[in-house]
Amino acid sequence: MEVTAVDFNSVLLAAQDQADFLRASSYKGKKSFVKQLSGNTYFVSLQAKHHPVKLLLDNANLRVDRDEKVIAKIAEWQNRGLVSSPHDILALLGFEVLERDETQLETIEVAMAGLEEKIMAKPQKTQQTQILYLHRQAIYLKKQLNEYLAVFVRCRQNNALWEELILRTQSSLDNARQMVELMENLRDAYQASVDNKLNDVMKLLTVLATILLPINLLTSFFGMNFQNMPLIHTNVGIYLLYLVSVIFIGGSIIYFKRRDWL
For the chain, the domain total comes to 2
pTM to 2 decimal places? 0.71
Whether residue 24 is found in the same domain as residue 151: yes
User: Are the CB atoms for 122 and 160 separated by under 8 Å?
Assistant: no
Whether residue 150 is found in the same domain as residue 244: no
The string of pLDDT tens digits covering residues 15-61 is 455 555 555 555 555 688 888 777 778 888 888 766 778 888 888 88
Using CB atoms within 10 A of its CB, is residue 129 exposed (0-12), middle (13-18) or buried (19+)?
A: exposed
Beta strands, E only, 51-102: 53-57, 61-65
Whether residue 125 is found in the same domain as residue 239: no
The domain boundary, picked from 179, 194, 209, lies at 194
Using CB atoms within 10 A of its CB, is residue 169 exposed (0-12), middle (13-18) or buried (19+)?
A: buried
Whether residue 31 is found in the same domain as residue 54: yes
One-letter identity of residue 189: A
Asked whether the predicted pLDDT for residue 228 surpasses 80, the reply is no
Whether residue 38 is found in the same domain as residue 145: yes
pLDDT at 245: 81
Question: How far, in Å, CA of 169 to CA of 99, rounded?
Answer: 10
Give the domain range for residue 41: 2-194
Whether residue 13 is found in the same domain as residue 71: yes
The domain boundary, picked from 194, 222, 249, lies at 194
pLDDT band at residue 213 under the 50/70/90 scheme: confident
The domain boundary, picked from 194, 209, 244, lies at 194
Q: How many other CB atoms sit within 10 Å of the CB of residue 67?
A: 15
